[in-house]
Structure formats: C-alpha cells, structure tokens
C-alpha cells in the first residue's frame, strides 16, 4: 500500500501554469497543452481522494486571462464546457463536489447553465470538494465581499462596528471552506497572480519547475511530503509551537 506523509493539508490550492509552454516544448498546438492539463486535473483530484485532502482549489482561468488571444480564450471556453458536460457524472460517482468561484456572469449561457447543474448534481454525499476558480481574481473577491457587507450596513442589518475579519470572510466566494493550507504553483513562476489573496494569508507556498501537464500523482505527493515537513507558526515562535505539540 502507498505510504503517505503525516500532517497532510486539508485544503490545497494550485495555480495551473505551464500549459502553453508544455505545448511549445512538445511542438504541439497551444490548446493541446490545456487538454493535457485536464488529464492532470483528473489525476490530482483522484489523488486527493486517496490521500485524504478534503478540498482542492484550482486556478483555471483568471479575470486577466480574457486579455489572451481570442483564439485561445475561445478554445478554453469550449474545453471548459466540454469538461462540464463530460465530467459531472464521474464527479458524482466518485463523491466529488464541484464548486465554481468567480464572476461567472461573463461566461456563455450554456456554461453558466452547466455550472449550476454540475454544482447541484454533486452537492450531496461527497468526500472531496473540487473548487474551480474561473474568471476569478483575489481583488475582485475582496471587493465583492466588501460590497455585500456595505449593502447590509446601508440596510441597517449590520453596524459598522460589528464588521470583523470573520464577517468579511463569510462573504468571500470561499465562505464555508477551510482556508488553503498549501498553495502550489507549477512551471517555475514564483508569484500568486491575484489568486486567493485573503485566503492565502498564512498558506505554505510550494513552487516547482514542473509544467502543469507533467504534474501528476507523484509530483503532487512530493508537494504534500514537502508540506508535511514545514512548521506552521501563525506568528508564534518555534518554541511555542513545539511546546503546544508536545502537550
């Protein structure tokens, strides 16, 4: 049986980077990299179920990605729609809940329809939650949460002095989910690119040179093993954490 590292994260977030570079490296059309990336998504989602990771959040399409060439954006939209149609039944069968975060109003009606249907179909009896961040940005998320809180204040439902971090957090698109313990970015880039800015305040970061279409089960397990060796202090000293662990 496959041995697992101790101290596994509950929630892993991944910035899926390197699809285009993978396609160029293999002398393939650009969209081939994204198709190969979908295969890795399947593999890593399955690994989460096997390893006991409760939540997997994938940064699939940022709010800035609309600035990419139209042919690529249109291809990504077709790929997204195809995946929604094809994978929902498998997600339900494998007890995986789908949740899509981001401003979905910009997507086609078909995509919005299949998102709603997939979320409803997988909402019960699940072991893993798969969160897809699509047309998502961390600044957008904080802004829309702030607007919701401001509207409640204007309606008299909330007093300004009652606004706390937990109140704002409850209006983020990830409300109800644990914050990410581990953030992975593939392809060698070492930035978080406006992804889960609030939620990743105390996440551990793991950067790898591996391009996303090459990031499979073994690479994911290596990232989890690296995380398991970290000491998470949350502002405390190492001595304090070690004393608490020993108790």
Q: Is 19 an active-site residue?
A: no
Q: Is 218 an active-site residue?
A: no
The helix, strand and coil proportions of the chain, stated in percent and rounded to the nearest 5, come to: 50, 15, 35
As given in the structure block, the two tokens for residue 70 are 């139209």
Which helix (DSSP H) or strand (DSSP E) does residue 8 occupy? none
Where does the chain show beta strands of DSSP type E? 11-15, 55-62, 96-101, 128-136, 182-185, 204-207
Q: Give the active site residue among 27, 50, 65, 194.
A: 65
- Cβ-proximal residues to 126 (8 Å cutoff; 6+ apart), any chain: 95, 96, 97
> Three-state SS for 185?
strand
Q: What residues are annotated to the active site?
A: 17, 65
């Amino acid at each position: 049986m496959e041995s697992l590292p101790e101290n596994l994260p509950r929630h892993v977030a991944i910035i899926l980077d390197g699809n285009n570079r993978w396609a160029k490296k293999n002398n393939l059309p650009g969209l081939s990299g994204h198709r190969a990336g979908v295969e890795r998504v399947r593999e890593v989602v399955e690994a989460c179920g096997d390893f006991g990771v409760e939540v997997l959040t994938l940064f699939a399409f940022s709010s800035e990605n609309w600035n990419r060439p139209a042919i690529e954006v249109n291809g990504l939209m077709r790929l997204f729609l195809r995946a929604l149609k094809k994978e929902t039944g498998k997600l339900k069968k494998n007890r995986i809940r789908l949740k899509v975060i981001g401003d979905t109003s910009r997507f086609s009606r078909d995509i919005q329809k299949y998102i709603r249907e997939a979320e409803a179909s997988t909402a019960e009896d699940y072991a893993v939650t798969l969160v897809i961040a699509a047309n998502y940005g961390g600044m957008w998320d904080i802004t829309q949460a702030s607007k919701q809180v401001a509207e409640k204040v204007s309606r008299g439902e909330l007093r300004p002095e009652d606004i706390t971090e937990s109140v704002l957090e409850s209006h983020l698109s990830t409300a109800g989910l644990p914050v990410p313990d581990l953030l992975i970015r593939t392809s060698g880039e070492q930035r978080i690119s406006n992804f889960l800015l609030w939620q990743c305040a105390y996440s551990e970061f793991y950067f790898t040179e591996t391009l996303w279409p090459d990031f499979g089960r073994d690479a994911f397990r290596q990232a989890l093993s690296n995380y398991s060796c970290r000491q998470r202090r949350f502002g405390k000293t190492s001595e304090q954490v070690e004393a608490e662990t020993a108790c």
